[in-house]
Each structure stands twice: as C-alpha cells, then as structure tokens.
C-alpha cells in the first residue's frame, strides 16, 4: 500500500520500505488511470521524474535526506520551471517554455521534492472553476460532473485524486483555498511577502501569492516551511524569520482565541456548509478554544474592491503579451491581407462619396491600423480567452483618465479600510474562522456564462488577499450532497503558525 501523505511516504522511504522510484512509478500509474478524466496534469515528464527519484534515492541511501524526501509534486502552470511548458493555460503562451526556475522550484528541489509535471488552471489564474483553460476543465475527483474550483483547480484535483501527494498553487483572490475546499484537501495562502513571487507569472502583483496544497495540514506545513522566507530577487519578499511550522503542526495547542465574523455567515451561504462550519467551531470550543464574535464591517465592499484593483493590475501585467516577445503570434500574411482589403474598401467608398461624407471617410483611412498595431491586436484577440479579455477591458477602464479617481483611487482607499478591520480584529483574536466558500462544488458549465455569479464564489477568500494576511482551508466535513466542505482560518500577517495550528486542530477533531 502506497501512503497518501508526504509524511508517511517519507517515513517508509527512510525506513527502506519503499523506494522513491516505486513511489514515483505509483503516481504515474495513477495518472495513467485517471488523469484522462480528472484533467489535472497538462504536462508530465516521467523520465525526468524517475531520474530525479534515483538521484534523491542515492542521497537518502547515503544518509543525506532533504526535508521533502517523499514529496511527489505537481506545479500549477503559472510558476516557471526551467525547460518545461509554462502556458498559464492560455493560447497566448502555447509552446512557451520557461528559461529559468522560480525561487520556489529551486527551494523544493534543494530539499529533494520530485516535480513530476504541470497542472491545469484557469487562464492566467482568472476564474473560480478551472473552466477557462486552453486544456479544458479539470474535474472534481469526488464527482467528475462538478467543478474543481479555481483557479488552482488542477493543483487541488491532483491531490484529491491521488495523482501527486502535494502541489503548488497560486492565490490572488482565493485560488488555493477555494479549490482546496471544493476538492476536500488542505490549501494554504501565505501572507503577502512570505513566499517569493520570483518566477510566478503575474496576475495582480499586489495580491499574488504562492502556496501549497496537500492531503494533511502537516504536509502543507512541511512544503510551506521549504518555500517560505526572504528572497532578494523579489523586492516585496519580507526579511522576517520563518518559524517552525512543522513542529506547530505536530503539537497543536487547543487553547486559542477564535474570532467569528458575523459578516461571513449571512446571505448567500448554503445551509449545509454553514452547519458544518458552525459545528466545527463548536468542537474547537469544546476542546478549549475561546470563541469571540467579531465584526469586519467593510466585508461587503470586498468583492467590488477586489475586482477593480485586481483587474487594473492585470490589465497592466498582461500588456507584455503582444505576440512579439512570447507565444502566439497572429499570421502576418493574414494581417497584411486584412489591412489591404480594408484599405481597398474604404478607398472605394471614398471614390463614390458625396462631398459631405468625405472628411469622415478620410479620417477612417488615416486611422487604419499600421501592420504592427494590427499584428498586436490580432495576436491578443486570438491568444486571450473570454475571461482574460473581460478583465483587461475592466482594468483598462478603471485606470483610464476620466475614471481613475472614481474607481481605482477609491478602491485603494477601501482596501485600506478592509486592512484596518483585520488589524483591529487580530488585536483580540488569534485566528478568524469562517467558511472557505459559500457552497460546495457545483456542476461544470453552470456558472460559466454568468461572470457575476462566478465572482460570488470568492466572497469569503478575497479579503485575505486585500488585507495581505494569511489563510488556510481545511476539510471540515461532508455536505448532505456528498461533497467536501472546507473551513477557512485567516491569520494576521506572518502568523502562518496560528492558522496551521487551528487547521491541525480541525483535522484531529474531525
């Protein structure tokens, strides 16, 4: 029997009861059997993984095992791995291979994790279902008619479906925690600045963070332990010491203060989800926690604030994909033919125009795109999917001269108010508990045509990104509909140990 967790795999490997090559083989068998349906991995490199397994095995055999021996990991397709495709599940990056490793990748390898492939996601990490992907939707291993959540859908489904024992995801507004909740696994979004973003393809740079997904809180803590910490290549990375998360997860302390915000238990929350989260909080209370009702009064502005600021940053970050420097470029000859045809058409109208029509048509002719401009436009039109286009348009709008103050400037101010709500709350409590998402996983296809409904899935996760604090989602139970429900704990900046502690308590009391 091959164990599901890194921790157990590690124990067996170190005891000589399991070789890393066998462990890696096992995951490739799992991938062959079920990735066709789950669609979590979009690229695998078995040969290289086995080669790595043998190299690490030699280290283990000579008594030099790194901290992540036993970790067989997949990486979200938004984090650069040298020589492997890095497409962000977008047509515009189809065929692109990274030329360097992200800092997190270097750190995982240095501690002997084996990286076996790349994971499905929503295009450029924009989405809550993993349906906006050039590879098609990832499917929830608990019920393959349901979404995995997103945008790190592949990262959550790979762990839940036992295609890897841990993965990395990225979280800009909930993209680690929400799919973790839908797929019944653990996911940690670290504090902004805790884990280096060097080598993470940017979506919204002041929100983005990289974090682990795994089958247990201890496993997630052990991966975080390795990837956390200062990196001089990321100038928002914090020079703050990394505590021992692993030992916190090994010896959790039940005597904690848990804030419960009324604002996260109101309208829109599914009854079954609410019951499970509330009964989990009750168990924590019975186990010695103090439960303190709190208020986070600006919560109701969170979604609007996030979708203004994140789209603004995205529109700027995505300007670099122009079809010249990376990935997809529209066909040059088609562009030239198109322009020629348009020019001919305008000129023939000009010929037959009455005097009063001439100035308007001349203007049209003068404004006809240059070949280069049209090449950019066409490459972007072909390369980006619908959600990414929507975000670029929204973001460009809120940053435009006439609307900057009314939208972008105002949203920055509200972001500060939300941060202040959390600062105040964390003076009274160690962690804040709430549902991770308002519902369980829903049917694939059911929300894809309703962006606003889709955005509501993030209602409980985005504030952690707005405030820059940390959050964890831990499986809390099974809904009446048979699907997993996650509980979320948020912690103050650089207090990952507190959310890990709370998460581990839930795991033990479950």
Report the residue from 8, 458, 492, 497 that binds ligand GLN according to the rule CB under 6 A: 458
Does residue 151 have an active-site annotation?
A: yes
For 409, residues 6+ apart whose C-beta sits below 8 A from its C-beta are none
Of the candidates 175, 315, 379, 463, the residue annotated as catalytic is 175
Q: Is 305 a binder of ligand GLN (CB under 6 A)? A: no
Stretch that binds ligand GLN, among 32-40, 164-172, 214-222, 480-488 (CB under 6 A): 164-172
Does residue 175 have an active-site annotation?
A: yes
Q: Give whichever of 377 and 390 is closer to ligand GLN, judged by the CB atom.
A: 390
* Per-residue binding letters, 417-456, with ligand GLN (x by CB under 6 A): ----------------------------------------
For 88, residues 6+ apart whose C-beta sits below 8 A from its C-beta are 77, 78, 121, 123, 124, 125, 201
Report the residue from 154, 161, 174, 252 that binds ligand GLN according to the rule CB under 6 A: 174
Measured between alpha carbons, how far is residue 285 from residues 264, 265, 333 in Å? 19, 18, 69
Q: Give whichever of 126 and 467 is closer to ligand GLN, judged by the CB atom.
A: 126
Shortest distance, position 438 Cβ to ligand GLN, whole Å:
13
For 369, residues 6+ apart whose C-beta sits below 8 A from its C-beta are 339, 377
Shortest distance, position 382 Cβ to ligand GLN, whole Å:
22
Q: Is 196 a binder of ligand GLN (CB under 6 A)? A: no
Of the candidates 128, 151, 222, 463, the residue annotated as catalytic is 151
Shortest distance, position 387 Cβ to ligand GLN, whole Å:
8
Shortest distance, position 42 Cβ to ligand GLN, whole Å:
17
Does residue 209 have an active-site annotation?
A: no
Instruction: Report how far residue 29's alpha carbon sits from residue 42's, in angstroms, rounded to the nearest whole number.
Output: 16
Q: Give whichever of 30 and 172 is closer to ligand GLN, judged by the CB atom.
A: 172
Q: Is 173 a binder of ligand GLN (CB under 6 A)? A: yes
Shortest distance, position 122 Cβ to ligand GLN, whole Å:
7
Per-residue three-class SS string for 129-193 = CCCCCCCCCCCCCCCCCECCCCCCHHHHHHHHCCCCCEEEEEECCCCCHHHHHHHCCEEEECCCC
Shortest distance, position 251 Cβ to ligand GLN, whole Å:
31
Judge whether 60 and 20 are in contact, CB under 8 Å: yes
Which among 174, 176, 182, 178 has a CA at the least distance from the CA of 142? 182
Of the candidates 12, 34, 76, 166, the residue annotated as catalytic is 76
Q: Is 211 a binder of ligand GLN (CB under 6 A)? A: no
DSSP state letter for 375:
H
Shortest distance, position 454 Cβ to ligand GLN, whole Å:
8
Q: Give whichever of 52 and 128 is closer to ligand GLN, judged by the CB atom.
A: 128
What is the number of alpha carbons within 13 Å of residue 368 lying toward its C-beta?
A: 18
Q: Give whichever of 5 and 148 is closer to ligand GLN, judged by the CB atom.
A: 148
First-residue to last-residue Cα distance in the chain: 24
Q: Give whichever of 170 and 440 is closer to ligand GLN, judged by the CB atom.
A: 170
Instruction: Report how far residue 162's alpha carbon sits from residue 467's, in angstroms, rounded to the nearest whole number.
Output: 33
Shortest distance, position 191 Cβ to ligand GLN, whole Å:
15
Radius of gyration of the chain (CA): 24
Beta strands in 149-275 (DSSP E): 166-171, 186-189, 209-214, 257-261
Strand partners, 489: 433, 472
Strand partners, 186: 214
Q: Is 310 a binder of ligand GLN (CB under 6 A)? A: yes
* Per-residue binding letters, 123-142, with ligand GLN (x by CB under 6 A): --xxxx--------------
* Per-residue binding letters, 143-162, with ligand GLN (x by CB under 6 A): --------x-----------
For 245, residues 6+ apart whose C-beta sits below 8 A from its C-beta are 221, 222, 224, 225, 228, 496, 497, 500
Judge whether 159 and 71 are in contact, CB under 8 Å: no
For 255, residues 6+ apart whose C-beta sits below 8 A from its C-beta are 288, 289
Give kind and range of the element (H or E) at residue 299: none
Give kind and range of the element (H or E) at residue 278: helix 271-286
Q: Give whichever of 127 and 252 is closer to ligand GLN, judged by the CB atom.
A: 127
Q: Give whichever of 20 and 466 is closer to ligand GLN, judged by the CB atom.
A: 466
Window 98-127: residues binding ligand GLN (CB under 6 A): 125-127
Q: Is 171 a binder of ligand GLN (CB under 6 A)? A: yes
Query: Residues in the site for ligand GLN, rule: CB under 6 A?
Result: 125-128, 151, 170-175, 203, 310, 458
Active site residues: 76, 151, 175
């Amino acid at each position: 029997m091959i164990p599901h967790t890194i921790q157990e795999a590690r124990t067996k490997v170190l005891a000589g009861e399991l070789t890393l090559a066998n462990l890696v083989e096992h995951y490739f068998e799992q991938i062959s059997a079920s990735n066709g349906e789950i669609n979590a991995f979009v690229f695998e490199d078995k040969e290289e993984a086995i080669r790595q397994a043998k190299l690490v095995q030699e280290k283990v055999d000579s008594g030099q095992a790194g901290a992540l021996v036993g970790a067989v990991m997949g990486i979200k397709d938004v984090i650069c791995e040298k020589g492997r495709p890095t497409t962000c599940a977008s047509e515009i990056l189809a065929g692109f291979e990274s030329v360097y490793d992200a800092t997190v990748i270097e750190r995982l390898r240095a501690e002997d994790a084996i990286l076996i492939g790349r994971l499905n996601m929503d295009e450029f990490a924009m989405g809550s279902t993993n349906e906006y992907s050039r590879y098609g939707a990832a499917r929830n291993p608990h019920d393959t008619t349901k979404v995995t959540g997103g945008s790190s859908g592949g990262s959550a489904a790979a762990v839940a479906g036992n295609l890897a024992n841990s993965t990395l995801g990225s979280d800009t507004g909930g993209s680690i925690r929400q799919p973790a909740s839908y797929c019944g696994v653990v996911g940690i979004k670290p504090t902004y600045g805790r884990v280096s973003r060097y080598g993470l393809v940017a979506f919204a740079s002041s929100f983005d963070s990289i974090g682990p997904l795994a089958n247990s809180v201890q496993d997630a803590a052990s991966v975080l332990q390795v990837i956390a910490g200062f990196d001089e290549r990321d100038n928002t990375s914090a020079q703050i010491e990394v505590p021992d998360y692993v030992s916190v997860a090994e010896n959790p302390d039940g005597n904690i203060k848990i804030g419960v915000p009324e604002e996260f238990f109101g309208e829109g929350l599914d009854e079954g989800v609410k019951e499970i989260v509330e009964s989990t909080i009750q168990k924590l209370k019975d186990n010695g926690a103090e439960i303190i009702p709190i208020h986070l009064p600006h919560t109701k502005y969170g979604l609007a604030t996030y979708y203004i600021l994140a789209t603004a940053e995205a529109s700027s970050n995505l300007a670099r994909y122009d079809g010249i420097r990376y990935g997809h470029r529209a066909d040059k000859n088609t562009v030239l033919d198109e322009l020629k045809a348009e020019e001919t058409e305008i000129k023939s109208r000009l010929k037959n125009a009455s005097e009063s029509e001439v100035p308007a048509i001349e203007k049209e002719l003068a404004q006809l795109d240059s070949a280069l401009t049209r090449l950019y436009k066409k490459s972007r039109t072909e390369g980006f999917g619908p959600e990414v286009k929507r975000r670029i348009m929204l973001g460009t709008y809120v940053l435009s001269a006439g609307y900057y103050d009314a939208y972008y400037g105002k949203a920055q101010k509200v972001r500060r108010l939300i941060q202040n709500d959390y600062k105040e709350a964390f003076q009274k409590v160690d962690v804040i508990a709430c549902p991770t998402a308002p519902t369980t996983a829903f049917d694939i296809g059911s929300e894809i045509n309703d962006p606003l409904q889709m955005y509501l899935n993030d209602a409980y996760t985005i504030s952690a990104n707005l405030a820059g604090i940390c959050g964890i989602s831990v499986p809390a139970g099974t809904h009446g509909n048979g699907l997993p429900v996650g509980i979320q704990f948020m912690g103050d900046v650089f207090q990952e140990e507190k959310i890990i502690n709370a998460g581990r308590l839930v795991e033990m009391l479950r």
